[in-house]
Structure 1
Amino acid sequence: MFSQAPFKVKMEWGRRGAREAAGRGDIVIIIDVLSFSSTVVAALNAGAVIFPYPPNLDGKKYASGIGATYILGRAEAARTGNPTLSPVTFNQEHRNQRYVLSSLNGAYCSWIASKVPALLIGSLLNASAAAVVADTLQQETGADITVVPCGELWNDAHENEDRLRPSIEDYLGAGAILAALGGSKSPEAEVCAGAFKSSESRLRELVWDSGSGRELRERGYEEDVKFCSQLNLTDIVPVLNEGRFIIYK
């Protein structure tokens, strides 16, 4: 059976990886660079309150029950003047406002792993800070750490095909965090960290030209790609607490 059990720091992909990490009781770091993770970091930096919620459940009903606004897709939210899954749409106007944020990848993985000892949100924006917090929590709890790059989903997967599409922006975001983490790393985690180290000088270029980056750019969201590809822009580390993200202090 596949296992990274001998190592204190592991790397697993997507929803299945989030479930494995949750089953082990690990500290989990969710990475969805374009754009859930980056949006959560930007929203908390602006003072907003974010509740992650999977898109297959009734997010509008959930939002209504907790006095929050349900964040729609980029185009729909733009028409109503609300912030979106785009990190650059959050600003100080949204301070203390409550939002339910759904996504097929980052929000879903956060939901799956919501019962772990600690669930952190990592990205390129806060990679070093996320590693420091995870190391601190590991020392306090003794739990292992699993870094989960979420990846994307194929839109046209055929029957019996896996929908997960590994994405380099999430792999590089995971690698940036893994490179800064202490503790024994699995080979999967070591290779991911190595990918980041060999690419660090070209991060913006690689994310810009990646399949996910091109997809967003072609839809008119060039500023999202530019924003999300910045390394260590902030020390803010979102931590899930009673269904919402708070800033670790």
Structure 2
Amino acid sequence: MFYDQTPFDIKLEWGQRGARAAAERGDIVIIVDVLSFSSTVVTAVQYGAHIYPYPPPINEQAKAYAQSIDAEIVWGRAESLKYGGHSLSPITFTAADKNKRFVMCSLNGAACTWIAADAQALLIGCTLNATAVAEAANRLRVTSGCAITVVPCGEKWPDAMENENTLRPSIEDALGAGMILSRLKGSISPEAEVCKGAYQYVKDSVQQLIWDSASGRELRERGHEQDVIHCSQLNQMNIVPVLRDNRFVQLDI
């Protein structure tokens, strides 16, 4: 296999191609999309909502899927202003959403989730639940004997030209991944070690760095300051979403 991290217990892969590599190895996969798929899933599951990930875009097929399972579509922030309802903003979810079903599409987190759905176990991690998801993954590794791959999703360049890579690695996902990696146990690949080390070097400034990151500034300039504040909280939730029967539920092990 190209670019193989197989000898190590703890690995790091970026984006959709990395998600596929992790799933094909049969690893335990932790999807990290801080701003904001992962943070929204963690928040929604904490409130008892059932989140069904679906690959982008939100088209007639996605709408038909939502209708077939009696679920609401989770819109992008701009679309929610037009159509109403929930959006990829985590603060649109509340305790009133308990037991409700939602189909969530996103360019990064949902896309990576869809690709890695056949992994040994697929968990959702971010800064909100870094310790909880790492501890859960450590337990799963012991019981399953499988390695762990953390997948920071990154962003997409919206104006990439032909033959250009669309992946834009994002520091918020690198920091979220590093925060989780610093709590995982086992032999660690060089790729994961570097991400972990970057987080440890700036761990006292994580929230400010996310606030000032390109992704954070983009959201703030569009009027979503509260999303950035919410998503950059550290270890505020013990929820560990796991993909079961095409939906995210709280992991109970």
TM-score where L is the length of structure 1: 0.98
Residue 144 (structure 1) aligns with: 147
Which of 189, 193, 200 is 1:190 aligned to? Answer: 193
1:86 aligns with 2:79: no
Q: Which amino acid aligns with 1:22?
A: A
Residue 28 (structure 2) aligns with: 27
CA distance in 1, matches of 2:81, 2:160: 29
1:71 aligns with 2:80: no
Which of 153, 174, 177 is 2:177 aligned to? Answer: 174
CA distance in 2, matches of 1:231, 1:183: 23
Alignment of structure 1 residues 146-165 onto 2, 5 Å: 146-165=149-168
Task: Write the deviation string for residues 187-245 of structure 1: whole angstroms up to 9, x where unpaired.
Answer: 11011111111111101110000000011011110000001011101110000001000
The number of equivalent residue pairs is 249
1:232 aligns with 2:248: no
CA distance in 2, matches of 1:148, 1:128: 16
Deviation (angstroms), 1:79 = 4.1
Q: Secondary structure at the match of 1:200?
A: helix
Structure 2 unaligned regions, length at least 5: none
Q: Which amino acid aligns with 2:158?
A: N
Say which is worse superposed, 135-144 or 79-88, in terms of deviation: 79-88
Deviation (angstroms), 1:95 = 1.2
1:245 aligns with 2:248: yes
Structure 1 unaligned regions, length at least 5: none
Q: Secondary structure at the match of 2:102?
A: strand
Determine if contact 2:73/2:86 at 8 Å carries over to the other structure.
no
Among the aligned pairs, what percent are the same residue? 58
CA distance in 1, matches of 2:95, 2:80: 17
Q: Secondary structure at the match of 2:163?
A: coil
Determine if contact 2:50/2:248 at 8 Å carries over to the other structure.
yes
Which of 54, 61, 66 is 2:64 aligned to? Answer: 61
CA distance in 2, matches of 1:231, 1:196: 13
Q: Which amino acid aligns with 1:145?
A: I
Large movers: runs of 4+ above 3 Å: 78-81
Cα RMSD for the two superposed structures: 1.0
